[in-house]
Amino acid sequence: AQSVTQPDIHITVSEGASLELRCNYSYGATPYLFWYVQSPGQGLQLLLKYFSGDTLVQGIKGFEAEFKRSQSSFNLRKPSVHWSDAAEYFCAVMEYGNKLVFGAGTILRVKS
Amino acid sequence: SQTIHQWPATLVQPVGSPLSLECTVEGTSNPNLYWYRQAAGRGLQLLFYSVGIGQISSEVPQNLSASRPQDRQFILSSKKLLLSDSGFYLCAWRIGQGAFEAFFGQGTRLTVV
């Protein structure tokens, strides 16, 4: 079964507009959740993470994400997108036994 | 500080040839190590992960294998490459115990021709 679902393959937003990338997980225990960003041909960079505590977590580059246990979601948000945010974004969950599983990714395009 | 090295950056190999990709981590002990493959439009697929020397978990039965001969070394291999093995291969590590994120290498672009 798919542990992490990112329902949007591509998203296009205008520069300056707000952004929300969706992520749903299926994991019985309290999850460790992550968002990573990947520029073309590069490795992955961590944006933010959730382990416990405050369900709204702040990350780098102005991103934030909210953990909602009732909805099994961990959506990524940014209030105002910049052209440099165009990249592919991955949500990930750490499963039992240190198995780190990623979603299929969402490609973000920013139009000027 | 910890660093991860992955090489080569790009590789073009003929079908049927062997493969060896190496990943090493510096500055930490007993890390969890991971191999992922990223094919066009298919996201990031977990291939293998290891929580210790000689301990390999395989996620996808396929033409590849992995080994961990030393604590901070993780090798991805194939005896005979297939066209479908083409893709972008990423190695990652994380601290073995506790709630920590993973850190990624810069990846290897493998093209099988």
How close B18 gets to chain A, by Cα (Å)? 24
Give me the percent of chain A exceeding a pLDDT of 70: 98
* Higher pLDDT, residue A58 or B42: A58
Four-CA torsion A108, A36, B69, B108, nearest 10 degrees: 20
- CATH no. for B3-112: 2.60.40.10
**Does residue A37 have a pLDDT over 60?**
yes
Interface with chain A: mutation pick from B6, B101, B106, highest number of A CBs within 10 Å: B101
Please check whether residue B107 touches A, CB under 8 A: yes
Choose the closest CB to A98 out of B51, B103, B105. B51
Residue B60 pLDDT class (50, 70, 90 cuts): confident
Query: Which range of residues forms the domain containing residue A41?
Result: 4-111
A45-97 pLDDT tens trace: 999 999 888 899 999 999 999 999 999 999 999 999 999 999 999 999 988 77
State the total domains in chain A.
1
Query: Which pLDDT score is estimated for B110?
Result: 95
Average pLDDT, integer, range B58-85: 92
Give me the percent of chain B exceeding a pLDDT of 90: 76
Query: Which pLDDT score is estimated for A2?
Result: 56
Chain A residue at shortest CA distance from B48: A99
Identify the CATH number of the domain in which residue A16 sits. Answer: 2.60.40.10
One DSSP character per residue, chain A reads --SEE---SEEEEETTS-EEE--EE--SSPPEEEEEEE-TTS-EEEEEEE-SS-SEEE-GGG-EEEEEGGGTEEEEEESS--GGG-EEEEEEEEETTTEEEE---EEEEEE-
Residue A22 pLDDT class (50, 70, 90 cuts): very high
Mean predicted lDDT score pLDDT of chain A? 92
